[in-house]
Homo-oligomer: A and B are copies of this chain.
Amino acid sequence: MTRGKFITLEGSEGVGKSSNIQFIANTLKALGIAVVTTREPGGTPIAEEIRQILLTEYEEPTLPETELLLLYAGRKQHVEHLIKPALALGKWVVCDRFFDATFAYQGAGRNIAIEKIEQLNQWALGEFSPDLTILLDAPVDIAFERIKHERKLDRFEKEKKEFFEKIRMQYLRIAQKNPHRYHVVDAAKTLVEVQTEIKKCLDNI
């Protein structure tokens, strides 16, 4: 049996990941491909438990390294118990965020050295990597407008804007470094245009 393909969808807030993940799954299903959609952090019972710890705000701050170790603890379960077995059965797996999100959010966003993340990634997953990553990219202003519905940004939100600017730049750097698997889609365009673009890169694999 031919191994399925592993597709990840990346991008920061407001770029339309959730609507497009379903579009990708439906497009593939229409071609007769068996599809599993999943998400990170999470994806298996244990990984979802770990996700809960990641999303809970404790009085004790979570150290960036702890966050990273928890992310990879969940990711290891997810890869070995859901993603790889599905691929081995010939299914295609479409995942809402994967390790690139860690490089973007924990690396650029939380200032963990990229080499430290690479070391941990290598430790936990070895060479395992998506076959195709679609990056939905839009200027932070446009993404913010979509979230905020044209509400004025306060000081805290402006800081958040810088944070998302860093995330965006990091995603674009990762895309540039991995042209063999990356496809950057201009998410500032209309949904129809975005989906035409996504369909094109699915046709390519």
Q: Which residues of A contact B (CB under 8 A)?
A: 44-46, 49-50, 53, 56, 58-60, 62-63, 65-66, 69-70, 72-74, 76-77, 80-81, 116, 119-120, 123-124
Contact = CB atoms under 8 A, between A and B. Distances in A.
15 contacts: A45-B58, A46-B62, A46-B66, A49-B53, A50-B70, A53-B53, A60-B77, A60-B81, A65-B124, A66-B73, A66-B74, A69-B69, A69-B72, A116-B123, A119-B123
A76 B81 contact: no
A69 B53 CA distance: 14
Contact of A76 (B44, B53, B65, B74): B65
Given A69-B72, A70-B69, A63 B45 contact: no
Contacts of A50: 53, 70
One complex includes copies of this chain to the number of 2
Contacts of A73: 66, 69-70, 73
Nearest to A50: B53
Closest 4 CB pairs of A and B: A69-B73, A66-B76, A70-B73, A66-B73
Quick one: which of A69, A74, A76, A116 has the most chain B CB within 10 A? A69
A123 to B, nearest CB: 6
Contacts of A120: 123
A72 B119 CA distance: 15
A200 to B, nearest CB: 37
Given A45-B59, A60-B77, 7 more contacts: A46-B53, A62-B77, A63-B76, A66-B73, A69-B72, A70-B70, A119-B119
